[in-house]
Amino acid sequence: MRQDQLIFDEGRPGRRARGQAPSEPVDTGDLPAESLRTTPPILPEVSELQVVRHYTRLSQKNFSIDTQFYPLGSCTMKYNPRAGNALAMLPGFLDRHPWAATAQSQGYLACVHELQDMLRDVTGLAGVSLTPMAGAQGEFAGVAMIRAYHRARGDHGRTEILVPDAAHGTNPATAVMCGYKVRELPTDGEGDVDLQALREAVGPRTAGIMLTNPSTLGVFERRIRQMADIVHEAGGLLYYDGANLNAILGKSRPGDMGFDVIHINLHKTFSTPHGGGGPGAGAIGASERLLPYLPIPMAGRDENGYRWLTEVDCPHSIGRLSAFMGNAGVILRAYVYARMLGAEGMVRVAEFATLNANYLMTRLRAEGFQVWFPQRRASHEFIISLKREAKELNVTAMDVAKRLLDYGYHAPTAYFPLLVPECLLIEPTETETREELDGFIAALVAIRQEARRDPELVRSAPHDLPVRRLDEVRAARELDLCWTPD
């Protein structure tokens, strides 16, 4: 009955949380009048309790790992250990200034250095930099490194990056940000990249290829070694988009597959929280030949202890990607996670993520859902297509996704990859129980039943959430992006 307002609407002129700001009135000192603001910014005027209540209530309107099964394909929504949060937020870490002297940074640097080494070892690369702040920035760094490599060799004719059609949108977008043209590669009927097409596409213009393996189609690229040979023989390099590393962590190493540079989404495989959209961390690993180009700073170690490696140590680096050291607090969380797993735990991640995915896929197929690559193993995720349901019942993948919300499950990724019609990309992760998977299967079966009996119920879902289906067209057409006092 009680509608939640905007925090602005809850304000009243002159109200504020008085314990939070200095009690002295403002003295602008020697600041010249013309440099000063003349009207105060429009910000909420609310009490401390109002703030706490408002945002506590807002939070309750979210689905999250801590409250729901969240099988969002490609996103690896697994449990984010609470210890990571507690330990990264110890006062000693929170109060550490990024420019603090080396002697006052040994505790933090030790974590960075050890995580660099662990990630290097589990991916089979030669070195790792933790500075990129998300997967896409990792991709940027990686492709920029490829570019720097060709440039350093005077190899200026390489202007293209190859990207499979199933690739995540960040791949082509990144290639363009690095000044490349994108050339798409088709997928064959079994979900692998079309090898013939690859052979035809490579050449002296090929700077490199960006691959996700297992791919975003949920299957392992079986001819990866041949692909690596083809690209390398043509003088190109291989970029590994590590968004799906969870599927093979410790079971198969990108370095062994022939990749020259990779990124790892620490906010996926290493279980740092997604935070409703970030922050993440896109650690980047390089083979021997790309090592000199890794972004700075990195943690190094010499006889005096740990220290930062900067421009001085890494003159060929592609440079800095952030003012300081990337998302340091995220790195600490990933470090805690990695330390709790150890080598054995990392392997288990892949094993149980894969077990859960294959179980779910097998059971859904048995229930009559169309698994898109039925002849393939699922990696840590797989695709079902609701093409048939869409045609017969006029109920789309989106409708089913929305109805799942009513059942208390977050929807899988819908309509990605783009090449599969009416698809749901389902990734259960290793931290979910079998019972949770069974419940999800039961919900999908029940919804299909509903779609047969009462399709409108499904088409107009969700029904039990804070809002019903939103008018996205209006949102984009009648742009309302900012509150203003009326």
Partner 1 sequence: MPFIPHTEDDIRDMLAAIGVGDVESLFDEIPDGLRSGRLPPMLPALQEMQVTRLMHERATRDLVGPCFIGAGAYRHHVPAAVWQLATRGEFYSAYTPYQAEASQGTLQLIYEYQSMMCGLMAMDVSNASLYDGASGLGEAMLMAVRANQRVRSGRILVADSLHPVYRRVAETVVGNQGVILESLPLDAGSGVVDTAALGAIDDVVAVVIPQPNFFGRLEDVDRLVDWAHGGGALVIGVVNPLAMALLKPPGEWGEAGADIACGDGQPLGVPLSSGGPYYGFLCCRRSMVRRMPGRIVGRTVDLDGRTGYTLTLQAREQHIRRSRATSNICTNQGLVVTASTIHMALLGAEGLRRVAATCHARTRELTAALSTLPGVAPLHAGPCFHERALDLGQPAAPVLERLAARGILGGYALGQHDPALGDAILVCATECIEASDIAAYRDALAESLQEAA
Ligand X SMILES: Cc1ncc(COP(=O)(O)O)c(C=O)c1O
Of the pair 72, 451, the CB lying nearest ligand X is at: 72
Of the pair 81, 300, the CB lying nearest a copy of itself is at: 81
Site for partner 1 in 384-403 (CB under 8 A): 401-402
Find out whether 226 and 257 touch, Cβ atoms under 8 Å.
no
Q: Is 389 in the site for ligand X (CB under 6 A)?
A: no
Q: Is 87 in the site for partner 1 (CB under 8 A)?
A: yes
Q: How far apart are the first and last CA of the chain?
A: 24
Residues in contact with a copy of itself by the rule CB under 8 A: 1-2, 10, 12, 15, 19, 47-50, 52-53, 56-57, 60, 65-68, 78-79, 81-83, 90-91, 340, 406-408, 431-433, 435, 439, 464
The span from the CA of 456 to the CA of 454, in Å, is 5
Burial grade of 383 (CB within 10 A; 0-12, 13-18, 19 or more): buried
Find out whether 93 and 108 touch, Cβ atoms under 8 Å.
yes
Cβ neighbors of 271 (< 8 A, separation 6 or more) are: 78, 79, 80, 81, 84, 333, 334, 337
One of 80, 216, 396, 429 touching ligand X (CB under 6 A): 216
Of the pair 31, 94, the CB lying nearest a copy of itself is at: 94
Q: How many residues bind to ligand X according to rule CB under 6 A?
A: 14
The nearest distance, CB 79 to a copy of itself, in angstroms, is 4
Of the pair 141, 341, the CB lying nearest ligand X is at: 141
Region at 445 (left for phi over 0; alpha for psi -120 to 50; beta for the rest): alpha
The nearest distance, CB 274 to ligand X, in angstroms, is 9
Q: Is 230 in the site for partner 1 (CB under 8 A)?
A: no
The residue among 351, 371, 353, 352 whose CA lies nearest residue 361 is 371
The nearest distance, CB 430 to ligand X, in angstroms, is 17
One of 126, 199, 316, 352 touching partner 1 (CB under 8 A): 352
The span from the CA of 141 to the CA of 170, in Å, is 13
The nearest distance, CB 431 to a copy of itself, in angstroms, is 5
Range 141-155 burial, b when 16+ CB lie within 10 A, else e: bbbbbbbbbbeeeee
Burial grade of 123 (CB within 10 A; 0-12, 13-18, 19 or more): buried
Q: In one letter, which amino acid is 64? A: S
The nearest distance, CB 19 to a copy of itself, in angstroms, is 6
The residue among 86, 108, 87, 113 whose CA lies nearest residue 96 is 108
Query: Angle at CA 373, nearest 5°, toward 372 and 376?
Result: 155
DSSP string, 368-400: T-EESSTTS---S-EEEE-HHHHHHH---HHHH
**What does the block give as tokens for 427?**
């990734």
One of 109, 111, 119, 134 touching ligand X (CB under 6 A): 134
The nearest distance, CB 139 to partner 1, in angstroms, is 7
**Pairing verdict, β 160-164 and 181-185:** parallel
The span from the CA of 253 to the CA of 202, in Å, is 24
The nearest distance, CB 20 to a copy of itself, in angstroms, is 9
Of the pair 76, 105, the CB lying nearest ligand X is at: 76
The span from the CA of 139 to the CA of 143, in Å, is 6
Find out whether 131 and 320 touch, Cβ atoms under 8 Å.
yes
Q: Is 431 in the site for partner 1 (CB under 8 A)?
A: yes
Site for partner 1 in 280-339 (CB under 8 A): 280, 295, 318-330, 332, 336, 339
Q: Is 383 in the site for partner 1 (CB under 8 A)?
A: no
Q: Is 154 in the site for partner 1 (CB under 8 A)?
A: no
The nearest distance, CB 259 to partner 1, in angstroms, is 11
Site for ligand X in 392-431 (CB under 6 A): none
The residue among 177, 175, 214 whose CA lies nearest residue 350 is 214
Of the pair 297, 417, the CB lying nearest ligand X is at: 417
Q: Is 159 in the site for partner 1 (CB under 8 A)?
A: no
One of 71, 73, 78, 113 touching partner 1 (CB under 8 A): 78
Q: Is 111 in the site for partner 1 (CB under 8 A)?
A: yes
Find out whether 474 and 467 touch, Cβ atoms under 8 Å.
no
One of 126, 195, 309, 355 touching partner 1 (CB under 8 A): 355
Q: Which does 462 bind (CB under 5 to 8 A by kind): partner 1, a copy of itself, ligand X, none?
A: partner 1
Binding mask 259-298 toward ligand X (x if CB under 6 A, else -) reads: ------x--------------x-x----------------
Using the contact rule CB under 6 A, the part of the chain among 39-47, 51-59, 134-142, 187-195 near ligand X is 134-142
Rg (CA), the chain: 25
Chain position carrying tokens 């200095």: 22
The nearest distance, CB 132 to partner 1, in angstroms, is 9
One of 2, 31, 189, 315 touching partner 1 (CB under 8 A): 31
Of the pair 92, 302, the CB lying nearest partner 1 is at: 92
Q: Which does 407 bind (CB under 5 to 8 A by kind): ligand X, partner 1, a copy of itself, none?
A: a copy of itself
